[in-house]
A and B are shown apart, each in its own frame.
Chain A
Amino acid sequence: MLDFLKPSVSALQDFCILAGRALRNVFRPPHYESDILLQMDIIGVGSLPIVILIGFFTGIVITMQMSRALAQYGAVDQVGPIVAITLVRELGPVLTAILVAGRNASGIASELGSMKVTEQIDAMRALGTDPIQKLVTPRMIATAVMLPLLTIIADFVGLIGGYVIARLSIGLSTMQYWTSAYRAIEYNDITQGLLKPFVFAFMVSLVGCFYGLRTTGGTQGVGHATTQAVVVSSVWIFVLTSLLTRIFVNLQ
């Protein structure tokens, strides 16, 4: 009767096995440091321009929208704290993770998917290399390191975007904007602002690798795997951020 659930449960089980192996390999040799550095460059440095661009415009948009709402209560000077809290707690981590999911989960899925359909994964196993150790673990470590760093940059650039509007359009002083923004952020905000991208990083990289390694059916299968990786990782970003926000709200 519950046969329709079998594929989903089986996929979840396979994902958990992959995640377990990838995490275990972090502590087991051999370690492919050059692959980790290469992936850090692709995922981190490669995503930097788009993260800066989106972060900056997000700061601008939040400030413009909030200033209009706050003006009704005569509290336009509170725009700094609102931008800071919104970016650090939620929008910075989520938007950066969505960008990395779109850019890198898809890239990982298509790369590993192509390797799968051209039997490079089988060749790797036949030549005595564990594909999870060589391909999955470096991508997971690289994403776990780079996504929090990208989020910090996105938060900061977003605050600069907010400052540009606050200064030029609303007329707040530099001191007023930055001091109020700085004072509004608490340790709890920074903790969740950094924990979220760390959690998202594992999920985004592992989902990309998972769908890549499950690819079947030639080039069409690669396209399908890529789409699935982006959709599933994007959905999970929102699910996880809801769960984590709920936990941190309770902690306060």
Chain B
Amino acid sequence: MTNSANDVLLRFENVTIRFDDLTAVNNVSFQMTAGETRVILGSAGSGKTTLLKAAIGLIPVDSGRVYLMGRDITNLAERQLFDIRSQVGVLFQEGGLFDSINIEENVGYPLVNRKTHADSPDQVHTKVVNALRFVELAHTLEKYPNELSGGMRRRVGIARAVITEPPLVLYDSPTAGLDPITATTIMALVAKERDSLNAANLIVTQRYQDGQLMANFRYNRINEHLEPVSNDLGDPDGSNPTRTTFMVMKEGHLIFEGTQARLEASTDAYISKFVPQHHN
């Protein structure tokens, strides 16, 4: 399938990022199109988070180029990046909520802060309530982040990331440090967000189950619950209705990019640490 240049939301071209003597990201190239889901797997220190932060210019690249929303952001100044970043939702590992303001102000922050157009306080309040209702936390408006559990903070973080309905949402280890039940709840919300807003998602995670859920489930807006989609895992080139692509990072290198079927068919020892293998 070919994609027009306008559909490409994010593109990495031979990107390398170094920290002193450590090469965190080594010559990585890939691109993301509208509505697509990408799951980046890798062990701790493999360069996943660095890659995600470089995608929105939070970390400068040493060589190569990064294109976000069709613009080359490689050498843009911080102030020039603000407008482009406002088109991207980001969930940080611990939620990244501001401790000093309450949940309503946290979730409404992207709306109040954006320069393109201003919502009235009533409009902001309505949108915040709707965004929090989306993550089933509408009762936490007046609370502060330190009054919420880790899972709740991440749900609020999702609400803040999607309140402006961005075409691209980045998730940095959305389930790290959470128990399996809460982790599944969070990923169900991520899938719900993807299928409600038709946004492209870049998910960095160590848990293969997170990617599995994104690849094999779709949110049904009529029934309001997740339902499985028919993926033919036996056929590497079979259907991929959720348009989910897996990428695997190892010591800064992108060592795999492909469908779930291809990933599960891989015989690579590093990949098999994350992925249950389905060899033919």
A residues neighboring B (CB under 8 Å): 114-115, 118-120, 122-130
Contacts and interface: CB of A to CB of B under 8 A. Distances in A.
A123 B79 contact: no
B52 to A, nearest CB: 10
B96 A119 contact: yes
B64 to A, nearest CB: 21
B92 A115 contact: no
B32 to A, nearest CB: 17
B115 A123 contact: no
Nearest to A38: B100
B258 to A, nearest CB: 29
Given A118-B96, A120-B97, A120-B99, A126 B90 contact: yes
A123 B91 CA distance: 8
Given A122-B53, A122-B58, A123-B90, A130 B78 contact: yes
B236 interface: no
29 contacts: A114-B99, A118-B99, A119-B92, A119-B93, A120-B98, A122-B53, A122-B92, A122-B96, A123-B92, A123-B97, A124-B98, A125-B78, A125-B85, A126-B56, A126-B58, A126-B90, A126-B92, A126-B96, A127-B85, A127-B110, A128-B82, A128-B85, A128-B110, A128-B114, A128-B115, A129-B82, A129-B113, A130-B78, A130-B82
Nearest to B98: A120
A118 B177 CA distance: 14
A245 B114 CA distance: 48
Interface string B107-148: 001100111000000000000000000000000000000000
Nearest to B170: A126
Contacts of B92: 119, 122-123, 126
A109 to B, nearest CB: 16
Contacts of B113: 127-129
Nearest to A21: B78
A122 B115 CA distance: 19
A123 B93 contact: no
B13 interface: no
A248 B92 CA distance: 52
Contacts of B114: 128
Nearest to A132: B78
A124 B97 CA distance: 9
Given A114-B99, A115-B99, A120-B99, A126 B94 contact: no
B212 interface: no
Nearest to B96: A123
Contacts of B58: 122, 125-126
A123 B101 CA distance: 14
B91 to A, nearest CB: 9
A245 B86 CA distance: 49
Contacts of A119: 92-94, 96
B202 interface: no
Interface in B159-204: none
B189 to A, nearest CB: 18
Contacts of B88: 126
Contacts of A125: 58, 78, 85
Contacts of B96: 118-120, 122-123, 126
